[in-house]
């Protein structure tokens, strides 16, 4: 299907990303899955090829390209290859906007060079053991003490939690502040009192390190306040639409990838003396999935074009996120069913795709929260 949202530069970049994944990631992915995390060096290599850091200004060592369609290319190629170890989309799509839009000039000079070169891995810590989608329920606190903030609390399910050198922490800085209670603070690896728990054992995405983080009287310099004090909640709401689009892009690409493999499987796997794809039920299932994935891609591509113009609404991003991730669940489930017993075996790609896909309707805002956003926009 023709995709006019992408131009020649994006297509050339896609070849670079695809080649990088094939050379530097796919051969190591099984080892990363067994280890529970990837090699840190892959971030540096990715930066050298412009796969990460391309949206950082050139003066700080980046590519100086601010066009989310390049982010989408990276997300699509990673999902198509089903290589999930390094948090490249977290790096490009989630963390970068916070640094580019909220950091002051001193902070940019201090943080962006290492970020752009891949030598420093970043994470963002929102979720807590008792707080998921309800961000206003965050209990981690930061109390001002002279030129420092003293941070106490715990975070969980933090992607890049083990590898991260710096973490953007959402903390309550004003207990009585309501929606203005929260601020963003950058906590660094060697700060006393900052510790990491275990690398969490997840259902899928085993090569992506995900950890618990603990803060016990961590003294964070006031110079590490990111954005405006008391505006943390607003900063999060501003940046979440891009994160949700990144997830939507990944969902469609992953759906297309496993669907194409299943179509080939249905042509070659026989039952009752004929290919399973020749049975009407199989044809109808695959026809339905093929149609819905194409429709989802058209909507997501339209959203990408709007986002490239800086006009994408939080509501449209929420629609894209919930619809495409729920579709991904449907696609992998139906594709696994068509594989029969082999689909339940982890040596078949569809089984791993099934496990990896399950988080998609949860992180970045659950399907229920996305529907709430859309519903409120309807005046309900």
**Tens digit of pLDDT for each residue in 339-369?**
999 999 999 999 999 999 999 999 999 999 9
Task: Give how far Cα 180 sits from Cα of 33, 136, 171, 306, 364, Å.
Answer: 40, 10, 11, 30, 21
Q: Which of 329, 330, 334 is CA-nearest to residue 356? A: 329
In a shared domain, residues 302 and 346: yes
Q: What is the pLDDT of residue 126?
A: 94
**Tens digit of pLDDT for each residue in 287-338?**
999 999 999 999 999 999 999 999 999 999 999 999 999 999 999 999 999 9
Range of the domain at 314: 234-377
Confidence of residue 167 (pLDDT cuts 50, 70, 90): very high
- Is 292 known to be catalytic? no
CATH of the domain at 267: 1.20.140.10
In a shared domain, residues 215 and 245: no
Confidence of residue 134 (pLDDT cuts 50, 70, 90): confident
In a shared domain, residues 244 and 371: yes
Is pTM beyond 0.85 here?
Answer: yes
In a shared domain, residues 332 and 289: yes
CATH of the domain at 102: 1.10.540.10
3-state SS record for 45-94 = HHHHCCCCCCCCCHHHCCCCCCCHHHHHHHHHHHHHHCCCCCCHHHHHHH
Q: What is the pLDDT of residue 205?
A: 96
In a shared domain, residues 259 and 288: yes
In a shared domain, residues 107 and 158: no
In a shared domain, residues 58 and 127: no
Indicate which residue of 76, 243, 326, 372 is catalytic: 243
């Amino acid at each position: 299907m023709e995709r006019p949202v992408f131009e020649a530069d994006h297509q050339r970049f896609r070849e670079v990303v695809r080649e990088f994944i094939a050379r530097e990631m796919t051969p190591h992915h099984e080892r990363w899955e067994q280890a529970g995390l990837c090699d840190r060096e892959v971030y540096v290599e990715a930066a050298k090829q412009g796969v990460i850091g391309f949206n950082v200004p050139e003066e700080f060592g980046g590519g100086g390209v601010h066009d989310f369609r390049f982010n989408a290319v990276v997300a699509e190629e990673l999902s198509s290859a089903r290589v999930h170890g390094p948090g490249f989309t977290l790096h490009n799509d989630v963390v970068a906007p916070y640094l580019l839009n909220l950091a002051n000039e001193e902070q940019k000079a201090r943080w962006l060079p290492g970020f752009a070169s891949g030598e420093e891995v970043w994470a963002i810590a929102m979720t807590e053991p008792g707080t998921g989608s309800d961000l206003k329920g965050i209990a981690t606190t930061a109390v001002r003490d002279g030129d420092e903030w003293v941070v106490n609390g715990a975070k969980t399910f933090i992607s890049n939690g083990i590898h991260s050198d710096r973490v953007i922490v959402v903390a309550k800085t004003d207990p009585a502040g309501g929606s203005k209670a929260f601020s963003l603070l950058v906590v660094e690896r060697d700060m006393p009192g900052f510790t990491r728990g275990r690398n969490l054992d997840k259902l899928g995405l085993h090569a992506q390190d995900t950890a618990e983080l603990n803060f016990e009287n961590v003294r964070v310099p006031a110079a590490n306040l990111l954005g405006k004090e008391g505006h943390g909640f607003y900063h999060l709401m501003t940046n979440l639409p891009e994160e949700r689009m990144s997830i939507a892009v990944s969902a469609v690409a992953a759906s297309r990838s496993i669907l194409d493999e299943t179509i080939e499987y249905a042509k070659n796997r026989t039952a009752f003396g004929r290919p399973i794809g020749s049975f009407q039920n199989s044809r109808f299932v695959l026809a339905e999935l093929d149609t819905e994935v194409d429709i989802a891609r058209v909507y997501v591509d339209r959203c990408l074009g709007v986002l490239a113009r800086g006009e994408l609404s939080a509501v449209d991003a929420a629609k894209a996120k919930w619809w495409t991730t729920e579709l991904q669940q449907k696609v992998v489930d139906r594709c696994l069913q068509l594989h029969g017993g082999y689909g339940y075996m982890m040596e078949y790609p569809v089984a791993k795709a099934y496990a990896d896909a399950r988080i998609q309707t949860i992180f970045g805002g659950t399907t229920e929260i996305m529907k709430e956003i859309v519903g409120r926009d309807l005046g309900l």
